[in-house]
Structure 1
Amino acid sequence: MSDPRTAPVDPAGSHHAHDPSDGCGAPGPASGSRAATGDGASVGEAGEVRRFWGRLGLPGLVDVHTHFMPERVLHKVWDYFDAQGPLTGRLEWPITYRKEEAERTALLREFGVRAFTAMLYPHKPGMARWLNAWAADFAHRTPDCLHTATLFPEPGVEAYVREAVEAGARVFKAHVQVGAYDPADELLQRAWGVLAEARIPVVIHCGSGPAPGKHTGPGPMARVMARHPKLRLIVAHLGMPEYEEFLGLAERYGEVRLDTTMAFTDFTEGFMPFPRHALPRLAELGDRVLLGSDFPNLPYPYVHQLHALERLGLGRGWLRAVCHDNAALLFGL
């Protein structure tokens, strides 16, 4: 079977045969876009997405923040969203892409996403190792997924992080808000050191949106980076709502990056807006900003994230880098 990462993609749009807190938006349909609520709507949106990256002259998109996890775990995440739990800021949160796993991977391919991730994470001790085993299997049967792993501050974390690295993990996910742990916990220090030495990026939800946690915010991550300045940290959601503080962390450390997940969308702007006076700083960091979406746990269509980035007006070069080139370089795609 051909590798979907190298298969040709058609920008004209033709088609060939948690936890909840990782989202940071409010509900409702995005203007001018059709949600993927049925086959016709999905096909229509796929054409919009492909036209977007086709206009930029890209071979597709690279999305560093998509969620795949065991189905029973994902369904519990969706139940939490439906219940408007406190970690979601108690926002109404319809899941736009509430589909089976095979349908979700197929839809990303229809969108022309060349590579994506399986952001999964434990909320208590004893989960990370078996989540990593599931993720390794998922990556094996899904070659366009960047092999993802996770960790938690617990005895044995260094050992299973090493195991995941040796098994071919290419990116890690950490969730400070859901896990309710201090990323600077001494139990994690040797694991961070392993990842820094291996130069494997870590996507980490460490900002205080959509609801703060005991250890969210820039302070704990600043302590981690002070001890591990070579750690390839990717701050999820641009660190919302502490955008400027996390921009500062990226300005201080050359290996700190940020992903765009749910930032600048109509929904997030409604309750945690990005300060417009900080846009020049974001533009300056254009080689270290990566596209993230939070697919499938979005309360709006996927294409809305792309349009939200485009309307910032930071230029074609910035948009090309964010939507594809930065991640392609980071992961050697």
Structure 2
Amino acid sequence: MKKYIPFLMVPMLCMGAISCQDEEESTYSLQVVKSEAYFQAKESKGYIVLSQSGNFTASSSEDWCQVTCKQDSVLLQVSNNTSLEGRTAIVTITSADGSQKVPVSQAGGYFRSDAGQDTFVVNNKQQDLAYAIKTVFDYESSTDASWITPNIGSDGTTLSITSNTSGAPRYALVKFYCASLNQTITTGIYQYETSDFLGNWTAQWQDKSGKQQQKPIQLIADESHPGQMVIEGLQDGIRIPVVAYGNSLAIVTNSYAGMFNSQYQVYVCGLSEDNIIYSKEKETVARHYFCNPEYLNDKLSYPFKADSTFQDGKKMGGFALSAYKNNQNMGAINQFLNLELTR
């Protein structure tokens, strides 16, 4: 007599076989339990922990990622990534039961300033200036100035600046060097206040004919207007008013400069780079012709520059002293293009 296995029992037997097979594979197949396989650009170490100990090998697809097998782990060691681009290596772990491929990633290297500017102007007080630098690499900071001390921290460098009692503006260059990337960042520090401009100077400028002129002048406090100064000596008999402009000073267009020959009122008017005078009735918006120290050729220079262009778009290159009588413009008594101070 033939025996039949009921049709419905076949799937159940198959399911039982599959279940046993899955359990066997889960017990003996190689699995990654956890890993630390993402790295910043700086050389570092990580690991891959496996579900079994010994009897496995590991290899890396890239030379910058070295692997070592130890008990139930694969130890990772990555070198510095000096490229801006990130990179990836594949670590293959193999045993008798199979293999696993684990990606190892490393971010790109960078050394940059987040300060947002290349130079800083600070007042004469003792202070700390934070200079933000972003990098995972070590770096060093240096300066030739005895009045600045760099202190490197986790988020950048703090520049400790001593008070300036010299009575004159001063400048220093600070360098930040990252040996791992062979990159250098530099920043300039100016320290001064408006009062440092008081005293004797030599003024240089171009006259209307383009000839270079030179004359000794004085910047003195304006006793009749506290907090302001005047330039004496640039034009005989005229005291040109000067105002504080940030830490520096500026000559302001449309400002009254006094009497000339006891009958003319003198006003400061803007002068374009091509010697066109912009009278106060034509150019009603006041412009600042300011003087900021600039460190050039191993010394400080003091050129004047305009804070904006004229309404017609032309650049301001200087100023003129225009004479008025009964509110009528009688013409310029002098003009000063590309004014610069030295001392």
Please report the TM-score for the alignment, with normalisation by the length of structure 1: 0.21
Q: Which has the larger radius of gyration?
A: 2
TM-score normalised according to structure 2 size? 0.21
Point out the structure with the larger helix share: 1
> Counting strand residues as a fraction of each chain, which structure ranks higher?
2
